[in-house]
Amino acid sequence: MATSKLPLIFAVEDKGTGPRHLLSGATINFVEEELNGPGQAEVSFDPLTSNANEVLLGERELEIQEGSDLIFAGPMRDLTGNSTRLTLKADGLFDYFKFRFVLQGNLAYVDTEQQAIAAALVTYAQSDADQGTNADLNISISGFSSSGILRTREYVSERKHNLFEVLGEFATLDEGFDMAIVLTPAGARIWTPYFPNQGTVKAVPLEYGREIIDYSYHETATKLATKVAATGGVAEQIDGERLKQEFTFEDIVASARYGVHTAVLPSGSRSDLAWLESRATQAVNARKDPLTLPEMTCKNAKTLRTLIKVGDVVPLRVDHGRVQFAGDFRIQKIRWEPPSDTLKLTFLEPVDA
């Protein structure tokens, strides 16, 4: 939880296990947390400040500590500046996985708990034998309860699967899960899965003209679907032909307005027709009109940071001329900008009630 103490900014050696060098007088430009992603941070400091020479891109990590809480850690990636001020950018720990691939042999998992597959991949990404020299990222694996969802996956070295992309797939799957690398006050970095989702529903209404002081948005029809076929597993086999279970739902009014837009949602081995009906209906209700994807700038960052986290679902209200939307939205990114004491919130599509 955030405190009122001035954050401390460090250059850290050896993936968080080595000496920590305080960057005296450094200030935070922003810290961004991202759902199922690395996030990033940016700090500025005087080129003459103590330990400025400890800033070594690619070799060292940036850590930001607020009170007893470690609120950011990740590899230093970019440094710019002039005679009076240097600006350092770092990406969060998940960024390392963009540089890790399936390089040795084949990784095969048959009817395996999905979170166990992801945990094995996180371990594989840190193996010198599989990745190369100095592969350990000092990221441990959290214990987790079974999701009850078994998956079959094969990752072959010939295809050079990128591990950031492979891990990211699990959050996009039906009955998949979110994940994060959780930082502890003691400096541990723990890969943690969240089934079915990270975050909770929060009764923290955000309204333009009150908490929201500015906004931008993207209105898109690229995911428009007025008719959805949810396909499942094999229902029966007749004369050697495997018949898949499926359910199709169409919103006739929406199709009449926009012209029919069809989407197919594969649902793995699910063969429960009632479940497929629900999935198709919910998908149409969520996608039968163009989506408005908002980004909000909120004041009172100190208070809001204690109330909301990425993954949370919050009520959002904007009544401003052409821009009219109200609903429950899931937070994808939270960007804290201390110079203006504001939070910038990026949202996913509205949560279907």
Strand locations in 157-226, DSSP E?
A: 178-183, 189-194, 206-207, 212-220
**Beta-carbon count within 10 A of 345 CB:** 26
Of 68, 71, 86, whose CA–CA distance to 23 is shortest? 86
**∠ at Cα 78 (77, 83), nearest 5°?**
145
Cα–Cα distance list, 141 to 52, 62, 148, 179, 188 (Å): 33, 22, 19, 11, 11
Query: What are the φ/ψ torsions at residue 123 (nearest 5 degrees)?
Result: -65, -45
Q: What is the DSSP letter of 280?
A: H
Tell me which H or E stretch contains 323.
Answer: strand 323-337
Tokens of 135: 């592969």
**Measured distance CA(337)–CA(139) in Å, rounded:** 27
DSSP annotation string for 88-142: EEEE-GGGGGGG-B--SSEEEEEEEEHHHHHHHHHHHTT-HHHH-TT----EEE-
CA distance 41 to 289: 35
189, amino acid identity: R
pLDDT at 16: 93
- CA distances for 229 relative to 141, 281, 284, 288, angstroms: 37, 9, 10, 14
Instruction: Specify the pLDDT at position 271.
Output: 67
**In tens digits, what is the pLDDT along the chain, a chain of 353 residues?**
444 467 999 999 999 999 999 999 999 999 999 999 999 999 999 999 989 999 999 999 999 999 999 999 999 999 999 999 999 999 999 999 999 999 988 899 999 999 999 999 999 999 999 999 999 999 999 999 999 999 999 999 999 999 999 999 999 887 899 999 999 999 999 999 999 999 999 999 999 999 999 999 888 899 899 999 988 776 666 566 666 788 999 999 999 999 999 999 876 666 678 878 888 998 898 899 988 788 999 999 999 999 999 999 999 999 999 888 788 999 999 999 999 999 999 998 777 64
Q: Is 87 left (phi over 0), alpha (psi -120 to 50) or beta?
A: beta
Tokens of 16: 């968080």
Query: The whole model's pTM is what?
Result: 0.85
Direct distance between the N- and C-terminal alpha carbons of the chain, in angstroms, rounded to an integer: 30
Q: What is the pLDDT of residue 117?
A: 97
Note the pLDDT of residue 4. Answer: 45
Upstream peptide bond of 185 is cis (omega within 30 degrees of 0): no
Instruction: Please provide the size of the chain in residues.
Output: 353
Q: Please classify residue 33 by burial: count the beta carbons closer than 10 Å to its beta carbon, then call 0-12 exposed, 13-18 middle and 19+ buried.
A: buried
Q: What is the pLDDT of residue 2?
A: 44
Residue 128 phi, psi (nearest 5): -60, -40
Would you say 350 and 328 are in contact if contact means Cβ atoms under 8 Å apart?
Answer: yes
